[in-house]
Structure 1
Amino acid sequence: MQNNRRNRIAWLTGCVLGVCLVSSAAMAADDTSAPAFSNKLLLTGGVSQVEGSAGGGLTPWAVIGGYGTGDEIGANAFVTHINLPDYHVNEVGAMVGLYNRVEVSFAQQRFDTEQVGAALGLGRGFTFRQNIIGVKVRLFGDVVLDQDSWMPQVSIGAQHKKNNQAAVLAFVGAKSDEGTDYYVNATKLFLGQSLLVNATLRMTKANQIGILGFGGDRNNAYKPEFEGSVAYLLSRNWAVGAEYRQKPNNLGIAKEDDWYDAFVAWAPTKHVSLTLAYADLGNIVIKDKQRGLYASVQVGF
């Protein structure tokens, strides 16, 4: 157990050191006379959300991923680690933003149960793997250009999720090992106040965002859940903020709590960003007070 903790701390340390090295190289490259990839402002494309879409760490925003504008294509790839007292999550993914109108994303999550897996008879380190394909479409508004209006940028999206542990999910009461979330969100940037506000309404049947399947003995219907983010831009490179994500409670044997986080994001260039957060994920299966560090590195253009 102690060795496992050391390995996870080493992973996080390597993550931070790696992004510092990559960002240093990227800043040097930005000092050359090469043409810019995009005209978007830093951090206005969001970071990579836990399910792969552009947004905050916990919830998607209405922005389209990457720094592509109306006649450009942008793309990002990311690595995320969530370190909790009794579990950990590793995630990789990528997204492509097409002409500031359509975003397509893919993410793979690996949820490691550590000692809890042994206590449940699944085996120490039993892992749930989930693949997520996302699509987001901007309907109207522009988060940067609409500064003379109260109109936010508004998008709709879907995230289809497939879990690899169908038999275990059925045993705990989940009705399916795959499902699709649908959402609509609005994001408004107040440049004069250096403030970004986002609100998302998600229709979902996912248990722990799909890691424990979809639907259950308590509920098997889509329910609307609210998600919100607030970010304050300290400078063109730094942002701090907080998020809230409402969760359903479909399984009788696995109480589910709402999620919260407080984050800091650093984007030294348009090619690299690092997000660190303290996340409170509440109860997960038989373990309460799952709070810990969320770290994500994103590279792209």
Structure 2
Amino acid sequence: MKKKSPSIWIAHLALFLVGTAAAHPVCAGSRLPATSGVSQVEGAAGGGLSPWALIAGGGSRDEIGASAFATRVQTRGGYVLEAAGAALGLYDTVELSAARWRFGLSDTVPGQSLRLEVFGLKWRVFGDAVYDADRPWPQIALGLQHKRNRGLAVPELLGARRGSDTEPYVSATKLWLGGAGGYNLLGNLTLRGTRANQMGLLGFGGDRGDRLRLQPEVSLAVLPHDALALGVEWRAKPSLLSAAPETRALDVFLAWWPYPGLSLTLAYLDLGQIANKTAQRSSYLSLQAQF
């Protein structure tokens, strides 16, 4: 049987989430644009690289919201990442998310690709990044991302210890009104416990270690308009495979909400070293729909 592409898989999942929200007596969509960020590549609400403490969808504390996204990246070394995901936000407090990746290995392993599934849970435990913006504390959320690698031949060959793992994280998101020359400024710090190789595409753990490592992820964005955000993200990664060393990831992004339920993100992405190729850089476009 032919495997479904990430885009087909996410279309089915998005329809399920739409049906779930529609069946609920509360209709979502009253939150302001940009107050849930965009879709992070692993499915959670946040920036492109890192989950934030924000909850997915447009639903307020009395509503259920949902979002779905699709992203495609092709690096200058020929690697191709296709990612798609969806998330359900429950009363601006709990978030359930799922994403699927397909990563083409270019001429490193011709004709082969890696596949990863990610299932997430996030709980907002304190604060409100928007309504508490005039107060010193941030919005804080705790989260889990369970990752499952669907093809272990290449990761095991490189020395990966396992094919699935669960990563805990804590995120703190703060909005400063007028904090950047009169424009609103948003900052986020996420601390993640991980032993993932290339975020899980090459399995978890290796000859350099098999314990969870605490890794920081930082995001900073200026909002020159309520529907526009310009920012930068930096994500640390452990390097646990001698045969496939890796470095940090970073991006510079521009996110635009032309309509309340639609966002477009254009970004320059630097993934550092991937397998035998250094300086893997690319631009990418990500599309997100939410309600």
2:218 corresponds in structure 1 to 228
1:125 deviation in Å? 2.9
Out of 101, 107, 110, the position equivalent to 1:115 is 107
Q: Name the counterpart of 1:249.
A: 239
Counterpart of 1:205 in structure 2 is: 195
Deviation string, structure 1 residues 119-171 (Cα, Å, up to 9, x no partner):
xxxxx231101010000000010011102311100000011011111232211
Distance across 2 between alignment mates of 1:297 and 1:258 = 24
Instruction: Answer whether contact 2:175 2:187 (CA < 8 A) is retained.
Output: yes
Query: Which residue identity lines up with residue 211 of structure 2 in the other structure?
Result: A
The answer for the alignment partner of 1:132 in structure 2 is 118
What residue in structure 2 maps to residue 81 of structure 1?
72
Q: What are the superposed Cα offsets for residues 96-116 of structure 1, whole Å, 9 maximum, x if unpaired?
A: 000000000000000001222
For the pair 1:292 / 2:282, whether they are aligned, the reply is yes
- Identify the residue that residue 84 of structure 2 maps to in structure 1: 92
2:128 — aligned with what?
142
Cross-structure match for 2:35: 44
Task: Give the Cα–Cα distance (whole angstroms) in 1 for the partners of residues 111 and 35 of structure 2.
Answer: 38
Match of 1:72 among 59, 63, 67: 63
Which of 86, 89, 95 aligns to 1:103? It is: 95
Identity of aligned residues (%): 48
Aligned 8 A contact 2:220 2:233 in 1: yes
How far apart are 1:296 and its partner, in Å? Answer: 0.7
Which letter maps to 2:46? G
**Partner Cα distance (1:291, 1:125) in 2:** 21
By how many angstroms is 1:64 displaced? Answer: 0.4
Q: Could you tell me how far apart the structure 2 residues matched to 1:131 and 1:247 are? A: 19
How does the TM-score come out when normalised to structure 1? 0.85
Aligned-residue offset at 1:192: 2.9
Instruction: Verify: 1:160 aligned to 2:136, yes or no.
Output: no
1:72 alignment partner AA: E
Q: CA deviation at 1:59?
A: 0.4
1:102 corresponds to which letter in structure 2?
V
Aligned pairs, number = 261
Give per-residue Cα distances to partners, 1:157-210, cap 9 Å, x unaligned. 011011111232211100001111110010001123310000000000100000
Give the deviation of 1:37 after TM superposition. Answer: 4.2
Determine the C-alpha separation between the residues in 2 that align with 1:226 and 1:187. 14
Cα deviation code 1:224-250 (max 9, x no counterpart): 000000010011111100000001010
Is residue 33–residue 261 contact of structure 2 (8 Å, CA) maintained in 1? no
Secondary structure of 2:108 counterpart: helix
Q: CA deviation at 1:85?
A: 1.2
Matched, 1:190 2:196: no
Q: Match of 1:268, as an amino acid?
A: P
Distance, in Å, in 1 between the alignment partners of 2:133 and 2:191 is 24
CA–CA separation in structure 2 for the residues paired with 1:95 and 1:188: 22
- Report SS of the residue matched to 2:225: coil
In structure 2, list runs of 5 or more residues that go unmatched. Answer: 1-26
Task: Tell me the residue number matched to 1:263.
Answer: 253
Tell me, in whole angstroms, the C-alpha distance in 2 between the residues paired with 1:280 and 1:169: 22
Q: Distance in 1 between matches of 2:149 and 2:290?
A: 27
Map of 1:55 onto structure 2 = 46
More helix by share: 1
Unmatched segments (≥5 aa) in structure 1: 1-35, 118-123
Partner of 1:25: none
Equivalent residue number for residue 181 of structure 1: 167
Say which is worse superposed, 211-220 or 187-196, in terms of deviation.
187-196
C-alpha separation between the residues in 2 aligned to 1:39 and 1:150? 25
